[in-house]
Amino acid sequence: MNYRKLGIFMGKKTIKLVFLLIVVCIASFWIVEQSPIDPVRAYIGEMSIQPEQKAKLEEYWGVNTPAHEKFLNWAENILKGDLGTSLIYRMPVTDVVKERFAASLLLMASSWLLSGVLGFILGIVAGMTNGTLIDKAIKVYCYILLAAPTFWLALIFLLIFAVNLGWFPVGLSVPIGVASEDVTFFDRIHHLILPTITLSLLGVASIAMFTREKLIEVMSSDYVLFAKARGEKGFDLVKRHGIRNVALPAITLQFLGFSELFGGAVLVEQVFSYPGIGQAAVAAGLRSDVPLLLAIVIVSAVFVYSGNLIADIIYEFVDPRIKQQEMKT
Amino acid sequence: MTNTSQINVEKRGKTEALLKVKDISLSFTQYASGLRQTDLKVISNLSMEAYSGEILAVVGSSGSGKSLLAHAILGILPSNAKLSGAMEYDGHDLTQKKKEELRGKDIVLIPQSTTYLDPLMRISSQIIGSVDAKNADSRMKLQREIFRKYDLKPEVERMFPHELSGGMLRRVLVSTAVMRSSKIVIADEPTPGLDENNLNETLSYFKDMANRGYAVILITHDIEAALKISDKIAIFYAGTILEIANTDDFTGEGEKLRHPYTRALWNALPQNKFRAIKGHQPMQDEVLEGCFFYERCSTRNEVCSKCVPDLKICNGGMVRCNNVS
């Protein structure tokens, strides 16, 4: 592989990311500034308070400083690595994000893998049996999944598997009333299963439909016709030529799906009360925790950006055809 | 020939054809307007025979359905194609099941362009094809041997199709055909856009195959190239074969040729009279009652417009014309 090329590529992408983050920061700060949130009220909650005390707090928080000064102060602290203090969790935002993001990452990674593998297999099966009852069944299944909202599916799953059948816990990531050092690995897995399945469903449908279309296209190509003429047939033919040619674009698409994954996580975590970054985002938004909300916006931007970056790298550096073109130019 | 892999057939008697194509017709079902279905006939009542050790060139203009003839013989037509008529291979009926059994083994195809190679698979895997582990080594050896013979460097086997030059691609595609000890080679337009040297080199591969006992079917639009190496020329026109002539018949002003179209084709060549006849081939959706060449024929008579002339044996060739006895 051409390491110099990769270096330049990564350099360019990093510069782009920096610009993106600056724009995201300015935009989200401006939106928050425009919102009718009163940070003092958010901090003290429902407590009643004297006007003098409120004025003191306002001065302490710097509520009345001009917007651009606020932004510059905030940006300066961010550059120093200080994301501020979360108003609802009463601890440094960095710690909240770290803890929450780790939990979410586990959930997103497992459902990302599950949806990728399951979707790809379903797509291959549907593509191979194009036009038959199996294909139609898979297609209908995918359309239903695509049409059904994630949070609704989450509720239905919760109703069936957690409430009626009692196979899984109704929420949270660890059992209630157990000391954190006593929580076993199995407990965590047990709590993870239902949210993971729910979150992966949407991804399954899009990957399966894409893989199906792509496989049908590949199987009607000249090179598959020639492979048939050479006596290749059945699953061997699909394996040798179909899967080989479908895998790369499908993996690329799966990486591009990071944004949907994050969006889905917000809804699923909310329904399952799973203490991840999505749930924190909702809480921060509803309860006016501005520092936390802004931090989550930045983290999610980086997360989605890295998914796109990986897709780009696969496209530019792994596909032998693109490599060749790069060499020619 | 030094190639040890070829356990090829001893030259069989010229009287018995290895492959017989008898009166086949091929049509596609299409949706014309709305839900109305029509049949688009691309091959009609086509007959031909291929002999071991001989090259039969099927010559016709581009886009006239010649490739589909190759696909029909190999049984790799799309699912909306309807094929009628009969084929015989080595004295046995060539059914779809039999075709699936034989293709890649006894009957091989040399396709026309790089799009027929898997863009993401290395050359050697494509040439060797799908084999189980115990045969892989011997196949690998055979492939290296063939590469040496066709002057392909060993590093070519690790390349991807897009990395090949035009000449290399030609030789790679030919290599795929000689991997198996096959009996029939169908080459579909193997010489498009080749310069004189490359053309002659490619043609020599086919001559060589025929000498080793293969029955070679060369599908091409290039009648000059076909005349250089073929034993027989089949003239493909509007989905059927109008004449099967021996290569020696193409001489002078075409007096020995049986069909007026063949004669016109011969006389249209630059080194001959360089004279084209008027008109064009009938379209595939035109319904023709008489001779397919009726509109453009100079010797037509009333009978010609009424029914399709039968294929007649004449002077060691075959012709579909009423004016030949």
Helices (H) and strands (E) in chain A, counts: 15, 0
Residue A71's domain comprises 3-79
Per-residue confidence (pLDDT) for residue B325, from 0 to 100: 67
Contact A43, A288 (CB under 8 A): no
Per-residue confidence (pLDDT) for residue B317, from 0 to 100: 86
Torsion of CA B250, B254, B260, B266, to 10 degrees: 60
Contact B170, B198 (CB under 8 A): yes
Q: Write the pLDDT tens digit of every residue in A220-263.
A: 999 999 999 988 888 889 999 999 999 989 999 999 888 888 88
Q: Specify whether A56 is located in the same domain as A157.
A: no
Per-residue confidence (pLDDT) for residue A325, from 0 to 100: 55
Q: Specify whether A73 is located in the same domain as A25.
A: yes
The answer to whether the Cβ–Cβ distance between A221 and B115 falls below 8 Å is yes
Per-residue confidence (pLDDT) for residue B138, from 0 to 100: 87
Q: Specify whether A49 is located in the same domain as A99.
A: no
Distance from CA of A307 to the nearest CA of B (A): 24
Q: Specify whether A140 is located in the same domain as A269.
A: yes
Interface test with A, best of B108, B123, B124, B130 (most A CBs within 10 A): B130
Give how far Cα A280 sits from Cα of A92, A100, A103, Å: 14, 7, 11
CATH 3.40.50.1220, domain B19-106+182-289, yes or no = no
Per-residue confidence (pLDDT) for residue A54, from 0 to 100: 80
Pairing of strands B107-110, B184-188: parallel
Name B235's bridge partners.
B59, B243
Instruction: Using the 3D structure, point to which of A79, A102, A132 is the last residue of a domain.
Output: A79
Q: Taking CB atoms and an 8 Å cutoff, what residues of chain B touch A214?
A: none
Q: Taking CB atoms and an 8 Å cutoff, what residues of chain A touch B116?
A: 222-223, 225-226
CATH no. for residue A112?
Answer: 1.10.3720.10
What is the tally of structural domains in chain A? 2
Q: Taking CB atoms and an 8 Å cutoff, what residues of chain B touch A231?
A: 103-105, 129
Whether the pLDDT of residue A211 is over 90: the answer is: yes
Q: Specify whether A53 is located in the same domain as A169.
A: no
Q: What is the pLDDT along chain B (325 residues), one digit of tens a residue?
A: 444 444 444 444 456 889 999 989 999 887 777 777 778 888 888 999 999 999 999 998 877 788 899 999 999 998 888 999 999 998 889 999 999 989 988 999 999 888 899 998 999 888 888 777 778 888 888 899 999 988 888 889 889 998 888 888 888 998 888 888 889 999 998 887 778 888 888 899 899 999 999 999 999 988 988 999 999 999 998 888 999 999 999 988 888 888 989 988 888 888 887 878 887 888 777 777 788 888 888 888 888 888 888 888 888 888 888 887 6
Q: Write the pLDDT tens digit of every residue in A121-173.
A: 999 999 999 889 999 999 999 999 888 888 888 889 889 988 888 888 877 77
Q: Specify whether A100 is located in the same domain as A28.
A: no
Q: Specify whether A41 is located in the same domain as A179.
A: no
Contact B21, B73 (CB under 8 A): yes
Of A41-50, A99-108, A276-285, B88-97, minimum mean pLDDT range: A41-50
Higher pLDDT, A65 or B161: B161
**Mean pLDDT score across all residues of chain A:** 86
Distance from CA of A267 to the nearest CA of B (A): 39
Higher pLDDT, B167 or A214: A214
Residue A278 lies in a domain: yes
Residue A85 lies in a domain: no
Q: Specify whether A9 is located in the same domain as A126.
A: no
Q: Specify whether A135 is located in the same domain as A35.
A: no
The answer to whether the Cβ–Cβ distance between B116 and A225 falls below 8 Å is yes
Instruction: Using the 3D structure, point to which of A54, A79, A104 is the last residue of a domain.
Output: A79
CB neighbourhood size of A166 (10 A): 9
Interface predicted TM-score of the whole assembly (ipTM), two decimals? 0.84
The answer to whether the Cβ–Cβ distance between A230 and B163 falls below 8 Å is no
Whether the pLDDT of residue A181 is over 90: the answer is: no
Instruction: Using the 3D structure, point to which of A79, A103, A135 is the last residue of a domain.
Output: A79
Q: Specify whether A48 is located in the same domain as A111.
A: no
On the 0-12 / 13-18 / 19+ scale of CB atoms within 10 A, A35 is exposed
Please give the full DSSP string across B53-88, using - where no structure is assigned.
T-EEEEE--TTSSHHHHHHHHHT---TTEEEEEEEE
Q: Specify whether A180 is located in the same domain as A305.
A: yes
Per-residue confidence (pLDDT) for residue A214, from 0 to 100: 95
Q: Taking CB atoms and an 8 Å cutoff, what residues of chain B touch A324?
A: 160, 162-163
Residue A32 lies in a domain: yes
Q: Specify whether A270 is located in the same domain as A155.
A: yes
Phi and psi torsions of B44, nearest 5°? -130, 130
